[in-house]
Structure 1
Amino acid sequence: MTHGQNTNQQLREMNESILTHLFLPYHLPSSSDADFCLQSNHRYEYVILECMSRFLTLCTIDNDQIISPIIETLITCTQRWHLLQKNLSITNLKSAIEQLHPSDFLPLYFHAQNAAILIEIDENNDHQPLISSWQVSLPTEKISSSLQSHQACFPVNIYRLSDRSCLTSTAHCELLLDFMKNPIEYSKSYKISRDVPFSHYVTQWYIQQFPNVILDDSCKHTTEFTKKSRDQIRWNNGALPFRRSGLWLTMKVVFETILTKRLEIVGCTIV
């Protein structure tokens, strides 16, 4: 196979994988080895976010009208996020956090922890950022034991940090880098193609390590929305589907969170 043919084959596999994760989860293969985005320990999963970043940017090209502040927020968010998701390092993480302006968002998805975090710079208090974290995918025993769809409610608890400098400390950046690369704990029934790591180190322990962190009451006044989790895993005796991309599931929650906060839309359910 020539270099050009190999490139075309990879491009076709990438496009098929992305479209399947986004729109056709029941056509996903039963093994991550057969999926472009998830193979080699989710090596190329970041391309889903990269393609979304390109799509949002292309939507503004040849548009003579002023870009909506909400669209601009989504574009800035995805541009920073996809660069970190592709290659997280202490240097680029510090730089991304330092560049955040009031009303900016910075998410991160940790496949190795089955968890995500969302940093928000409060437009009224940019020295005390808001931060939240949540479990991305349900464990096997929860999602395959019932035909009923499981729904997660957002926004989750949001915490206010005492000082923005906590986010750019070397110790904090090293911790996030470790979360990205190293699974901390799996369930006893863990199987590499089926179950997910425990997420409690990110969803419970992580935020409590910040000094003087407090629960922010403003989230009580934010419109709630729910996310269905029914289609993220195949049944015990079924061949399809394999788990959908956790990054894509995180992207949906992050985008819905931003739109809900900025537009104050009526609560809804995303699938």
Structure 2
Amino acid sequence: MNESILYHLFLPHYLPSSTEDDYLLESNHEAEYILLERMKEYFGTLQSTNDANKLPMLEMLTDCVKRWSILQNPREFAISNLQPSIEQLPPGSFLPLYFNAQNAAILIEIEENNIDQPLVSSWQVLLPFEKMTPSVVPHFSCFPVTNYRLNNRSQLSSEVHCELLEDFMHNTIEYFKSSKGSQLFDNVRDVPKSHYICQWWIQLFEGIEVENNCNMVTKFKKKHRGHIRHNDAKLPFRRSGLWMTIKVVFQIILNKRLGDVGTVVYKLLITHFLTYIIFKTYLTISNDLLVHCIRKIVRRLNKIEHLLSSINTKDLDAWLYYTKQDIHMKINRILPKVHWQNNIQADEKKKHLKLETNFELHDSNIYQHLCQKLKDYLNDQIMREHSNFLNLGCKMVANQCSSVIGQALFKRRAKII
């Protein structure tokens, strides 16, 4: 399970070829929600942080992940859990949901000053094969997407609407088509079509209006790193759509609350989470995978430092400093010490000096082992040479006997004639 999580978070060079070979994606993505469980655990560790070093939005993000992680578990996604979760959303809260069966995500927001008219938005999560495979040009999705304001909050918690969301979660409505000869068939190896949530679901709400204030939110792009493994597998491996959704949701929330600083806070928060995951699992993974993950974290830190140099972060300086220091500390604890090579060389010099000062010619510990090997080798060579000599002697005797017998038979035959 640990390696599967790292596959999706860090995308190492060697990845499974099929979803059935990946713990999070096998059995129709049944365990994919564990990514949210790990995020919930991470936020739990931050609660003990000194208030001066805490992120101001920590409580809001923690509550969001707690609600989300329960509903994202396919076994828990039912009307009996969904309906009260929507009804009990407090002012200033968010409820995201990722629908793997539709390749789409939604975000519900209850504003503090308008709790009866929530905002909703939806978007496609992963790109289909036809967009990902034809070229090596990178692909991006732009956020935030269009927000819509409902005129009545009760539409979200109605039983009919919750039944629809439950159906979205468990049943794919439509796949992209592929052709074979003159026939079209569902390409189940590709991602499902997302327009039933991105378009049709939005149009179901009565009196819905486009929210114009969304233009004031800082815009950002998300690069699609699909890493699709094309092979004969029924379902090729792709990076988790839930992980993509988690990152998009966090950046939307932080950008909305913090403006331009939200992007830097988001990047450092995700880097801190990635460090937390490595720190928990580094004893159970290979060195190659560990080095790959640490390199990615170091690259992210370098980019963050570059961004910080051009942004005013005065109100968040304490949190930024503490978080960066914690990342460095964990990485240093995972990696060998900086002067580990010097320590090894010093140990070697001590051993060499001890050998020179305490050398005893007749110390059996110095030569017994090597001499025993040499003795065994020489004995083996002697045995081989002796064996070869006996074999050669037998052959010579046999040849001489054959010659004598042959001459005797020839003379006897001549006398008879």
Q: Which residue identity does 1:27 align to in structure 2?
A: Y
What's 2:8 paired with?
Answer: 21
What's 2:135 paired with?
Answer: 146
CA contact (8 A) 2:149 2:208 kept: yes
What's 1:254 paired with?
Answer: 249
Q: Hey, what's the Cα distance between the residues in 1 that align with 2:5 and 2:261?
A: 29
Q: Which has the higher contact order (CA 8 A, sep 6+)?
A: 1
Q: Which residue identity does 1:31 align to in structure 2?
A: S
Q: Hey, what's the Cα distance between the residues in 2 that align with 1:53 and 1:73?
A: 12
The answer as to 2:227 corresponding to 1:233 is yes
The aligned runs of 1:142-221 (5 Å cut-off) are 142-189=131-178, 190-192=186-188, 194-221=189-216
The answer as to 2:38 corresponding to 1:43 is no
Q: Hey, what's the Cα distance between the residues in 1 that align with 2:150 and 2:248?
A: 22
What's 1:56 paired with?
Answer: 43
What's 2:83 paired with?
Answer: 94
Cα 1:153/1:175, change in 2 over 3 Å:
same
Question: Deviation of residue 258 (structure 1)?
Answer: 0.8
What secondary structure, in the 3-state scheme, does the structure 1 residue paired with 2:177 have? coil
Question: Deviation of residue 27 (structure 1)?
Answer: 3.0
Q: Hey, what's the Cα distance between the residues in 2 that align with 1:55 and 1:130?
A: 28
Cα 1:27/1:124, change in 2 over 3 Å:
farther
What secondary structure, in the 3-state scheme, does the structure 2 residue paired with 1:232 have? coil
| Equivalent in 94, 97, 117 of residue 105 of structure 1 | 94
Question: Deviation of residue 69 (structure 1)?
Answer: 3.8
Q: Hey, what's the Cα distance between the residues in 2 that align with 1:26 and 1:148?
A: 19
Q: Hey, what's the Cα distance between the residues in 1 that align with 2:31 and 2:262?
A: 33
| Equivalent in 117, 123, 132 of residue 121 of structure 2 | 132
Runs (4 or more) in structure 1 with deviation over 3 Å come to 66-69, 235-239, 266-271
CA contact (8 A) 1:30 1:242 kept: yes
Q: Hey, what's the Cα distance between the residues in 1 that align with 2:208 and 2:16?
A: 43
Cα 1:47/1:267, change in 2 over 3 Å:
closer
What's 1:10 paired with?
Answer: none
- 1:12-32 alpha-carbon deviations (Å, 9 max, x no partner): xx1111111001254321100
Unaligned runs of 5+ in 1: 1-13
CA contact (8 A) 2:175 2:192 kept: yes
The answer as to 2:114 corresponding to 1:114 is no
What secondary structure, in the 3-state scheme, does the structure 1 residue paired with 2:77 have? coil
Q: Hey, what's the Cα distance between the residues in 1 that align with 2:229 and 2:173?
A: 26
Q: Which residue identity does 2:3 align to in structure 1?
A: E
The answer as to 2:28 corresponding to 1:33 is no
Between 88-97 and 30-39, the greater mean CA deviation after superposition: 88-97
Q: How many residues align?
A: 254
Question: Deviation of residue 137 (structure 1)?
Answer: 0.1
The structure with the larger Rg is: 2
What's 1:8 paired with?
Answer: none
Q: Hey, what's the Cα distance between the residues in 2 that align with 1:234 and 1:64?
A: 43
What's 2:71 paired with?
Answer: 84
CA contact (8 A) 2:17 2:231 kept: no
Q: Hey, what's the Cα distance between the residues in 1 that align with 2:60 and 2:129?
A: 35
Cα 1:226/1:200, change in 2 over 3 Å:
same
| Equivalent in 231, 239, 263 of residue 258 of structure 2 | 263
Cα 1:238/1:89, change in 2 over 3 Å:
closer
CA contact (8 A) 1:225 1:267 kept: no
- 1:36-84 alpha-carbon deviations (Å, 9 max, x no partner): 00000001000011111111111112x2426544111110110000000
Identity %: 54
- 1:100-145 alpha-carbon deviations (Å, 9 max, x no partner): 1111000000000000000001122110000000000000010111
